């Protein structure tokens, strides 16, 4: 386990329930990891986010470059369509529902109670936060945070490095590097 904050604590319980064994105390610095061979363990990225996904993404990318691989974790109460495609390090938390033909790229979190409908694509290191809803055919770019209880309407494309605020209802496409809040969501540049 990389990290020791709130997301890591929840992951610890999901891992226990799924029968995985944590090999050691949570790893919080490079020195502790230096003693471990990449072929002996699977890592789990315990860094969460409520907006900025830069640290979580950097942790994943740095450890991949050092030869480590990441566990894909699915909580026991999650529903995941057999036709969904989940890449490395994807974490699907309790009561999440993932329907047909969805694709999640590396290091994505689908948090507790989120619903991802058919044919959505979520790119690398993005976070679909608790209770968020992606209607069908939505595309979410990389390093984007979809806030708690946000709703993205069908067919909408949200860019990379975006923040969708908690509770937002997104009706239209959102360009890269934007922040969108409110009902209906108003879009502003992050810079």
Ligand X SMILES: CC(C)(COP(=O)(O)OP(=O)(O)OC[C@H]1O[C@@H](n2cnc3c(N)ncnc32)[C@H](O)[C@@H]1OP(=O)(O)O)[C@@H](O)C(=O)NCCC(=O)NCCS
Judged by the rule CB under 6 A, the positions of this chain that interact with ligand X are 50-51, 111, 129-130, 147-148, 163, 165-167, 181-182
CB of 166 to ligand X, least distance (A): 4
Residues with Cβ within 8 Å of residue 13, at least 6 apart in sequence: none
Residues with Cβ within 8 Å of residue 29, at least 6 apart in sequence: none
Residues with Cβ within 8 Å of residue 44, at least 6 apart in sequence: 1, 2, 11, 15, 70, 71, 73, 89, 91
What does the alpha-carbon distance between residue 100 and residue 105 come to, in Å, rounded to a whole number?
15
φ/ψ of residue 121, rounded to 5: -130, 125
Kindly tell me which of 11 and 163 has the beta carbon lying closer to ligand X.
Answer: 163
Kindly tell me which of 6 and 155 has the beta carbon lying closer to ligand X.
Answer: 6
Token couple for 57: 């993404």
CB of 24 to ligand X, least distance (A): 26
Kindly tell me which of 118 and 178 has the beta carbon lying closer to ligand X.
Answer: 178
Kindly tell me which of 12 and 69 has the beta carbon lying closer to ligand X.
Answer: 12
CB of 164 to ligand X, least distance (A): 8
CB of 157 to ligand X, least distance (A): 19
């Amino acid at each position: 386990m990389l990290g020791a904050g709130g997301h890591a604590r929840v992951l610890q319980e999901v891992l226990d329930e799924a029968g995985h064994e944590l090999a050691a105390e949570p790893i919080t610095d490079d020195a502790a990891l230096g003693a471990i061979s990449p072929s002996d363990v699977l890592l789990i990225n315990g860094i969460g986010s409520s907006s900025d996904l830069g640290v979580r993404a950097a942790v994943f990318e740095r450890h991949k470059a050092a030869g480590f691989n990441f566990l894909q974790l699915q909580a026991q109460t999650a529903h995941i369509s057999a036709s969904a495609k989940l890449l490395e390090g994807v974490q699907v938390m309790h009561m999440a529902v993932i329907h047909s033909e969805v694709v999640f790229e590396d290091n994505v979190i689908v948090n507790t109670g989120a619903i991802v409908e058919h044919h959505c694509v979520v790119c690398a290191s993005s976070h679909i936060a608790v209770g968020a809803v992606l209607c069908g055919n939505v595309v979410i770019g990389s390093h984007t945070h979809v806030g708690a209880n946000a709703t993205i309407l069908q067919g909408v494309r949200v860019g990379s490095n975006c923040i969708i605020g908690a509770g937002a209802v997104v009706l239209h496409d959102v360009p890269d590097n934007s922040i969108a809040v409110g009902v209906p969501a108003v879009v502003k540049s992050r810079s």
